[in-house]
Amino acid sequence: MENHFCEDYTSYHVAVYDIITGDFIKGVTHQGYADHTMWARSQAWAIYGYTLCYRETKDQKYLDFLEKITDVYLKGLPEDYIPYWDFNAPGIPDAPRDASAACVVALALLEASTYFPGEKGKKYKEAAVKMLGSLSSPAYQSGESKPAFLLHSTGHWPAGSEIDAAIIYADYYYIEALLRLKRLNEGRDITGWS
């Protein structure tokens, strides 16, 4: 929380530390557009990670931080709730999307919605449902075109790798999020598989 985030609660891809002293040197983003932009998947991993931190510790500081990093992500989403590969990417609205980031965030938000009372929890669940609705639409489903569930993920745009692609971890988190939503709607535990 100290070094891996900008003042606006967007995350760096990598925090660089001095190998001798352990002092923080700088934050950088290799797979995002620039060091001080919000690379969608980095922010998604942060949202997922702090959801798990709160689940395992019940420490309020993680829940407070989760709210800050989630709200900045949700605020910048396009209408269909599937982010551009970087929220500051050149060429928006024609820039590639990252369905994989949406899958990770949807999974996290379903769990996070159970930790926030009232309107905040409801808002997080509704956002997750919107993400899953878009991901389940013909715009993002691969159908017969690929041996995958989802299209339109971005692996490493600066390196020109996996641009507008079907990526296996998008499929994994998509299926897990759908299962979690089903269990949540049935009133069952969503963090275990009992």
pLDDT tens, 15-38?
A: 999 999 999 999 898 888 998 899
The 10 Å CB-count burial string (b at 16+, else e) for 129-141 is bbbbebbeeeebb
* Cα separation values, 169 from 45, 78, 138, Å: 12, 22, 19
d(CA 60, CA 62): 5
pLDDT confidence of residue 122: 98
pLDDT confidence of residue 165: 87
Which residues of the chain are modeled with pLDDT < 50? none
**Bridge-partner residues for 73, per DSSP?**
none
pLDDT confidence of residue 37: 92
Backbone torsion region of residue 164, taken as left when φ is above 0, otherwise alpha when ψ lies between -120 and 50, otherwise beta: left
Quick count: other Cβ atoms within 10 Å of Cβ 12?
A: 22
> Whole-model pTM?
0.94
pLDDT confidence of residue 157: 74
